[in-house]
Amino acid sequence: MTGNPKLPQDLAHRLELIRSIEDVVRQEMATHIERRNLWMPDDLGSADIALGEERDAELRELRERARGLPAAVRVAVALNLLTEEGLPHFHRLIATHFPEGSAWRDWNNMWTAEEDRHGCVLRDYVRDARLFHMRVFEQEQYGYIAAGFDPDWEQDPYRLLAYTSLQEKATQYAHANTGRLARDYEPQLQRVLAHLAGDESRHYQFYRSIFATLLAEDPNRALVSLLKVTVGFAMPGHAIGDFEAMSEVVARQNIFGTRQYREIVIELLDYWQIGAMTGLSAEGAKAQERLMKMPSRMERMVKAQEARSEPKEFRFAFIGDETIRT
């Protein structure tokens, strides 16, 4: 906030609007609860004490199937799990930006409980399947959590809601596309990831609906916040030690990269009808114009990346330094 005396008053306006739309939050929560199927991690790979030797046989079969998973799929699973294990960062961000004792707190607690199952079930899976050198992987996880996640949002709650709209959809892509690649090798992994992708889709619908309300009630500020987040979007795991290399593997496998991010931006610009908004201030209109140009800009980026892309080798200690050529 240094050097911008208008920001405190501007922030107060944003927070007041956030408080004023609690009825919308409650309505969207109710819709979310109606849509969801509240599964538990044990439903997707039971470790019930009553199973005994039957479970032992299932684990042997699982590990045999999992040996066939390509190394690139293992890397994608690792990145997906590390992203999910960053949940403490996001609970804190939502709690910090939104008022306590409100519908926002109720949503944050419920959302956190639902997201917590994602890390649980994926972690159970990779341990059961013996997918990684776990201590090495756990060091990556520890480093990520210890590094923190503090995006430069200037305490702007609008940016948080814009970010979560983009990020939940990006995570849906990552889980669904990883599952698609895993399906022919290990169907249980595909089933786990499909459940996670379904949850992320419903969370995405919640956040994009809330941001639609901000666009309707405070269009100019919302557009500027959306532009700042969209241009500078980065997945939350950027503090992970191997994040850049892991992200490149995932992008080269068409799981998630610039091309998929472009699809998300197009979908949201269309859903929010950004191009049709009228009566904007000069600043709002400028943000609108830049947002509408982003898909073509990203298409040029994708084509440039693909034109200069050459086969490359990667190695990761958590999968035993196996060479990945992609």
Query: How far, in Å, CA of 84 to CA of 120, rounded?
Result: 9
Q: How far is 27 from 90, CA to CA, in rounded Å?
A: 22
In whole numbers, what is the pLDDT of the chain averaged over residues?
A: 93
Please state, in angstroms and rounded to a whole number, the distance separating the CA atoms of residues 96 and 180.
Answer: 36
Residue 6 has a pLDDT of: 52
Run of H or E including 325: strand 324-325
> In the block, which residue shows the tokens 């941001």?
211
d(CA 187, CA 196): 14
- Residues 6 or more apart whose Cβ sits within 8 Å of residue 54: none
**Cα(67)–Cα(45) distance, integer angstroms:** 18
- Determine the residue type at 281: S
d(CA 92, CA 109): 11
Q: Tell me what pLDDT residue 8 has.
A: 72
Sorting pLDDT into bands at 50, 70 and 90, what band is 4?
Answer: very low
pLDDT in tens, 110-140: 999 999 999 999 999 999 999 999 999 999 9
Confidence at residue 2, expressed as pLDDT on a 0 to 100 scale: 40
Q: Looking at the predicted structure, is the pLDDT value of residue 238 above 80?
A: no
Q: What pLDDT was estimated at residue 45?
A: 87
Residue scoring higher pLDDT (236 or 74):
74
User: What is the structure's pLDDT at 295?
Assistant: 97
- Using the predicted structure, report yes or no on whether residue 237 has a pLDDT greater than 90: no
Can you identify the CATH homologous superfamily of domain 16-325?
Answer: Ribonucleotide Reductase, subunit A (1.10.620.20)
Is it the case that residue 1 has pLDDT exceeding 50? Answer: no
The listed range with the strongest mean pLDDT (82-86, 153-157, 234-238) is 82-86
Is residue 159 within 8 Å of residue 225, measured between CB atoms? yes
Q: Where are the domains of the chain?
A: 16-325
* pTM, to two decimals: 0.93
Angle at which helices 87-97 and 157-182 cross, to 10° = 160
Model pLDDT for residues 208-232, shown as the tens digit of each residue: 999 999 999 999 999 999 999 999 8
Q: How does pLDDT run across 9-56, given as a tens digit for each residue?
A: 888 899 999 999 999 999 999 999 999 999 999 999 888 777 777 778
